[in-house]
Structure 1
């Protein structure tokens, strides 16, 4: 009798143990499901690729994301024909050409000038300054857009006479162009803006190479491209006077920006620099090219 009772008691403990194992198994299944479930869309949208990246530049500014250029919106022409003068009217009446140079930076203000762009197609149109002076005497002349040193082909976004002969390049880096409109107003566009918009807004001439230092009255962060080299710039102020600006070697970004700080500039764009930098006024050389370099694109002002 005593052995039989012990057997019944041992069987009694089996039932709660089985129930406990069942409960643990069910809990483990749901816990595993919650740990291995896929993240929601909200979590997935916050990716590392969307975060800004610091560059290696000493300024430590935030690198802009890659931008696909807006190309193919307007028909290209092989040659725009004879370049035309565009009047750039100012809200002020001053001397035609005024020397405002300071601190190793050559600055000329042009009031109510007429502007001509020499590049008309993508063939090798390189000319030395002396040749341009002979063709356009009694003018102010400065180098403008960059070009391929091997082929002589002008680079960047190119409009003349309101016709497009070169679209934005396929680079993913944001590009800029200084545009003079048919009515003489000036604006800096970037490569997110298609040629169709620029031309329909009145774009007559464009000058292209480097960074925008000032755009729509706002000073932009330095991208490091303005350094110890000689640099050339084109600008306009709030009264729509034009400016041509060339810095001496080792002038540097800070000194250049300090030199133009009082001019109330609306836009300022870096043009072709280094040995291409050169300026003449009424046949007199103001800033010579370091190697008498022939370039395909000049801005000529009378």
Structure 2
């Protein structure tokens, strides 16, 4: 009987699946992300639209350059206004909208299809699953943001360079502009993921993302101290501070380091919410 019990115990242990390793979870999330046909097309479409916005502004300045008087042309060159065309405000808004939606759908999509229940049934360690999802989405959107930012800078400065108005990457503030614009993509995607984890509904998540990332910065004024402080805590305002070209003038100035801190804080808090919010909630 003892030998039989020992054999049965060994067989039962052999049937128990080993716990999933974190690298296996990363691989699974990578496969899930790219198994959707919409993923590459959504990323490509977002990249092309943002680049088109920036190139359009640069081409507009190139086309109408002869109509500017010499004083205006000299001012454009001296003040390095070509940096404004490298990544425009409208392009930044479109990028935040697109990548927050992409980040949100990586979470909300699984809730809408019920795939999240299958995932958590296979891997009960919910926080590990969401941590892997966060890392995969952050990595992919960072690469996409880098491509958009670098391509925008190169194309816009090439266009303006034909008029003698472009700047090089060595220009003060140029590297900061490229890096800040690249990182705007993963920050926006992580915020979208966090909101999607909390709301679990596609329409409400998209609306909430737009309100948090785009509407609040427009509503909050920087003409009073307390509203300026609130505005400085928002990622869009932080991006605008980081890409600021020339002399920075405002009633309530803040530092470059403060803007980088806001970037990091939003990304970190969003990641923590995404990872921890699913731990004790029913699916």
TM-score normalized with structure 2 length: 0.21
Larger Rg: 1
Higher strand share: 1
Higher helix share: 2
